[in-house]
Structure 1
């Protein structure tokens, strides 16, 4: 069933089976999309995770972590560096290394562990605004880039190129589901309006 057909069916029968259709919307349309955007990774891949709790509204604070090739999430906060297997189920996932980059993947876990034991990441060095989880993740990424002879990336550049596109997608589909769940309908811009809005965003300084 295409989404347009589903929405037509929803509008004619919403009063009788609203909970069924909300389940159908999540199961067949939003679920697969969010699964790709969020914490889906395969063994042997490495990802940057942006974790949110209590829902994501497009402006929520996100906690950042980096996985090793076994899916263990390394993250830094006011108590130091942590290595965890669980608790990151609600997160936006960004693939950092392509699966065919075997040389880097073979060294990734070693690099990440050695980096994480450095004095820079002791708990007393933590600062909420200037030396935080994003600092930890981006510094590690730049260390890997330097080891490959590549130029480092700034926080603003990395955010614009890799983070914002994913958070916008996640926010869009989460909003869609929440609006339908609460109001039984959702009115969005037409495709042309969305395209124009996207183009305007790119022109902003």
Structure 2
């Protein structure tokens, strides 16, 4: 039996670039974000062009895509794609994306808080805290870990409460969150037993 015909990856990428260009021209927000990623990666049909990537992420965000806003926010945060580091702009963009439910953006806001790049009273961080709480209530170990960190440090509208932090981080650690376990070791280093937490008493 003859081998099945193989697709030409270059041809597929060119086709994808052509389709996404038309989609973006029609003001489809996520299409502009995906086209930006093609220019970021670089293909024969969409050669690497950081200025075009920034323009497309910006258009995607302006049209309402949380992915475009998150990618643009991350670039401002890290000073990538030829952009100067702008923590204020990063906070606003990531906050918008997080508010729309994009977990990647919420996690980046938490990391900015951990690095003391945004304050505990940040509205964007409060949005992230709300998402972490929802995720934790739905059984996400990572959501509980992030919320537990905020309960330990006090931020995003979550009051600093060591007992509450231990409870959340213990739940996260039992659920398999490495960040939850490591943070719990810092909050309460004497209660760790074989990957779980012993109760006080």
Q: Which has the higher helix share?
A: 2
Q: Which has the larger radius of gyration?
A: 2
Kindly indicate which of the two structures has a greater share of residues assigned to strand: 1
Same fold (TM over 0.5): no
Higher relative contact order (CA 8 A, sep 6+): 1
TM-score by length of 1: 0.25
* TM-score, normalised via structure 2 length: 0.25
